[in-house]
């Protein structure tokens, strides 16, 4: 027993010594790399890299890389790749830190501050097929400002524009334009990728197509997006922005599905759910004008769950009269509550950046940097009524702590070769529970209650076999990831083996774990 105990103690000591020795040599090893950028080891920078918008997980890296060029990123990853499986170092690309569950964090590893990457500079190309070349660390809001100088703009957006290109393209990038143009990953012409071996590869549908499609929606598992060529279209001047309310879910979904199937109806279509929220129309009045002020002032929800349809029609100043007629015609075919028609007219930039206005208000009240236990689901059209009846009727009791979005998209606008997993049906809905938790609260607005509520929603979907897929997915075990990908799992694993065989990249997704050996 003494010899056995001594042997275990001896082996443990050797392993600990080797690991500690390895860790102690890593900073000097990285610092020896000839980079244009630099590494940061100070506690403030490391703490910042260990936070994100979800504000629930904190995994501290060993070091943060601030790259000046793509070669800085490639050299760092290649260095870690050459260290082999004896190194525990992993690498996470961090954009604007808007992940929800620590996906852009790397415990004891290297976090790459992608916003430091400014090479190559943004370049807009005009012509019959306009596009813009941008860094993977560029914010979409900056792309919008630059392309508008040429009266051009990307075709597909997220609701919030202060996100990086690499971040949204690693997931999908979905908003109210997705029914027409598809998600952002359907509007990319070319990518530059740094793989898990430190190789810099240019790829497109025609060139290195397997890597191109792997990385799009690939959750950062196969490479870091360092440059993207984004398709553009002619930008409008103004937007007709409309909100109407429904009390009947069937009419609400029927109108949404009709609109996304029409060729020239609206340019943006979203919806959201309203449960136990009083005074809603009064909250809209500073920004939206009711079509019939008298009827709107007399509107009473009678405690019903309401469904808001949000629409936008883009136009140039020369088209104002024609657009007014088109909007009136399309609205005449919808079955909303007549007294709840609210309209406004804003410029295109203000419409697209509308969420930032809310951010500024929340920051001023100290309500932005709170936990955000969000849940995003893709739900087949055939199951949306069953889902709504149970979730909006029983599990969800109010929507005062954040919006609940619900709107359909067309599967035909999604490329099945990418890594994103979506339902099988031709039309499926995005349902997003975008809740904010009140710190230290033990009530229905507290973190634990919201997490429990999300769990009940997910468990119901699984129990009822609705064919739901999570968007921005988060799982704790590889078995859960296998179930998420379903028949696509083996292809996903094979792609990982080809492009990141040591599982260096994106450890925060918790899909693959780097195997460490001691020599």
Q: Which residues are catalytic?
A: 98, 159, 270
**356 exposed, middle or buried (CB, 10 Å; 0-12, 13-18, 19+)?**
middle
Cis ω for the linkage preceding 120 (within 30 of 0): yes
- Where do we find the tokens 């790397």? 106
Dig out the tokens for 468 from the structure.
């739901």
Q: Is the dihedral of CA 144, 150, 156, 159 positive or negative?
A: positive
Angle at 417 between CA 414 and CA 422, to 5 degrees: 50
432 Cα distance to chain centroid: 11
**438 exposed, middle or buried (CB, 10 Å; 0-12, 13-18, 19+)?**
middle
Say how many residues make up the chain. 519
Based on its alpha-carbon atoms, the radius of gyration of the chain, rounded to whole angstroms, reads 24
Distance CA 132, CA 148 (A): 11
Q: What is the 3-state secondary structure (H, E, C) of 114-162?
A: HHHCCCCCCEEECCCCCEEEEECCCEHHHHHHHHHCCCEEECCCCCCCC
User: What DSSP letter does each residue of 335-355 carry, written as one string?
Assistant: -S-GGG-EEEEEEHHHHHTHH
Distance CA 165, CA 209 (A): 19
The b-or-e profile of 441-466 (16+ CB within 10 A means b, else e) is eeeebbbebbbebbeebeebbeeeeb
Query: 462 to each of 203, 204, 426, 459, how far by Cα in Å?
Result: 37, 36, 21, 5
- The SS3 of residue 325 is helix
Phi and psi at residue 221, to the nearest 5°: -80, -20
Q: Is the dihedral of CA 26, 29, 35, 39 positive or negative?
A: positive
Q: Is the dihedral of CA 106, 109, 115, 118 positive or negative?
A: negative
Tell me if 233 sits within 8 A of 223, measured CB to CB.
no
DSSP alpha helix (H) spans, 304-353: 320-332, 348-352
Question: In terms of DSSP bridges, do strands 63-66 and 110-113 run parallel, antiparallel, or are they unpaired?
Answer: parallel
Angle at 469 between CA 464 and CA 470, to 5 degrees: 115
Q: Is the dihedral of CA 227, 228, 233, 235 positive or negative?
A: negative
Q: How many CB atoms lie within 10 A of CB 24?
A: 10
């Amino acid at each position: 027993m003494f010899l056995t105990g001594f042997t275990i103690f001896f082996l443990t000591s050797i392993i600990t010594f080797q690991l500690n020795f390895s860790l102690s040599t890593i900073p000097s090893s990285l610092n020896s790399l000839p980079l244009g950028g630099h590494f940061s080891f100070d506690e403030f920078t490391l703490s910042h890299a260990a936070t994100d918008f979800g504000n629930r997980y904190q995994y501290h890296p060993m070091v943060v890389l601030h790259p000046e060029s793509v070669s800085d990123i490639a050299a760092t990853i290649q260095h870690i790749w050459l260290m082999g499986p004896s190194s525990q170092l992993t690498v996470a690309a961090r954009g604007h830190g808007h992940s929800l569950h620590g996906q852009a964090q790397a415990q004891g590893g290297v976090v790459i501050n992608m916003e430091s990457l400014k090479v190559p500079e943004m370049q807009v190309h005009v012509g019959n097929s306009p596009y813009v070349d941008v860094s993977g660390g560029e914010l979409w809001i900056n792309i919008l400002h630059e392309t508008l100088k040429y009266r051009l703009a990307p075709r597909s957006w997220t609701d919030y524009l202060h996100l990086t290109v690499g971040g949204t393209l690693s997931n999908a990038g979905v908003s109210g334009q997705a029914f027409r143009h598809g998600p952002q990953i359907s509007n990319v012409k070319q990518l530059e990728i740094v793989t898990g071996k430190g190789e810099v590869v240019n790829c497109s549908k025609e060139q290195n197509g397997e890597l191109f499609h792997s990385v799009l929606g690939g959750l950062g598992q196969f490479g870091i997006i360092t440059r993207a060529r984004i398709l553009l279209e002619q930008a409008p001047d103004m937007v007709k922005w409309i909100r109407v309310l429904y009390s009947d879910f069937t009419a609400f979904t029927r109108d949404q599905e009709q609109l996304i199937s029409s060729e020239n109806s609206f340019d943006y279509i979203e919806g959201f759910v309203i449960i136990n929220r009083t005074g809603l129309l009064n909250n809209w009045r500073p920004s939206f004008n009711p079509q019939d002020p008298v009827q709107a002032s007399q509107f009473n929800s009678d405690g019903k769950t309401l469904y808001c349809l949000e629409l936008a029609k883009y136009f140039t100043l020369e088209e104002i009269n024609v657009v007014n007629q088109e909007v009136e015609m399309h609205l005449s075919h919808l079955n909303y509550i007549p007294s709840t028609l609210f309209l406004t007219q804003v410029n295109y930039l203000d419409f697209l950046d509308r969420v930032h206005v809310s951010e500024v208000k929340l920051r001023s009240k100290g309500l932005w940097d709170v936990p955000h236990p969000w849940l995003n689901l893709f739900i087949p059209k055939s199951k949306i009524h069953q889902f709504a009846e149970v979730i909006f009727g029983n599990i969800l009791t109010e929507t005062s702590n954040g919006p609940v979005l619900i709107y359909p998209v067309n599967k035909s606008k999604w490329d099945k070769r990418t890594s994103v997993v979506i339902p099988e049906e031709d039309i499926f809905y995005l349902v997003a529970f975008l809740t904010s938790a009140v710190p230290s609260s033990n009530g229905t607005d507290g973190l634990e209650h919201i997490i429990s509520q999300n769990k009940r929603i997910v468990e119901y979907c699984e129990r009822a076999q609705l064919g739901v897929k999570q968007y921005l997915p988060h799982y704790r075990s590889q078995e859960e990831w296998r179930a998420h990908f379903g028949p696509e799992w083996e292809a996903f694993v094979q792609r990982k083996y080809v492009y990141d065989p040591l599982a260096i990249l994106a450890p925060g997704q918790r899909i693959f774990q780097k195997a460490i050996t001691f020599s």
